[in-house]
């Protein structure tokens, strides 16, 4: 038998409330907030396991507060700019 270290690139949903002029600005603000303020709180070091943020995000969902029917919600690919239509080939989002 051999021993291995296995990296699981799990997708985790982190919802961050932001105030912004548009969806693109909201995504940039949320990314900066997550990476600058909360990065250390999302690490795990226990029982031989460790975790950290991957370099890229898989995609984004932007919901407008107060839009309870989610009619203004939009999915964006990993670049934070390209709207995901159907299944985004680059990020795998299936909206």
State how many domains the chain has.
1
Structure letter (DSSP) for residue 40 = G
Q: How far apart are CA 41 and CA 64, in angstroms?
A: 26
Mean pLDDT of the 1-14 span? 72
Domain span at residue 62? Answer: 1-95
- Give, in degrees to the nearest 5, the angle at Cα 64 between 60 and 65: 125
Confidence of residue 29 (pLDDT cuts 50, 70, 90): very high
Among the ranges given (1-5, 37-41, 66-70, 72-76), the one the predictor scored with the smallest mean pLDDT: 37-41
Q: What average pLDDT does range 81-91 have in this prediction?
A: 66
- Cα–Cα distance, 27 to 63 (Å, whole number): 11
Mean pLDDT, residues 10-28 taken together: 86
For 77, half-sphere exposure in the C-beta direction (CA atoms, 13 angstrom radius) is 13
If pLDDT is split at 50, 70 and 90, which confidence band does 80 have? Answer: confident
pTM over 0.75: no
């Amino acid at each position: 038998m051999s021993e291995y270290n296995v990296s699981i690139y799990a997708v985790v949903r982190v919802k961050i409330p932001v105030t912004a002029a548009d969806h693109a600005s909201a995504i940039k603000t949320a990314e900066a907030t997550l990476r600058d303020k909360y990065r250390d709180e999302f690490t795990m070091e226990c029982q031989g396991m460790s975790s950290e943020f991957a370099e890229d995000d898989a995609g984004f969902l932007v919901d407008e507060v107060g839009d309870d029917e989610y009619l203004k919600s939009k999915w964006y690919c990993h670049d934070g700019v390209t709207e995901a239509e159907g299944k985004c080939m680059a990020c795998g989002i299936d909206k």
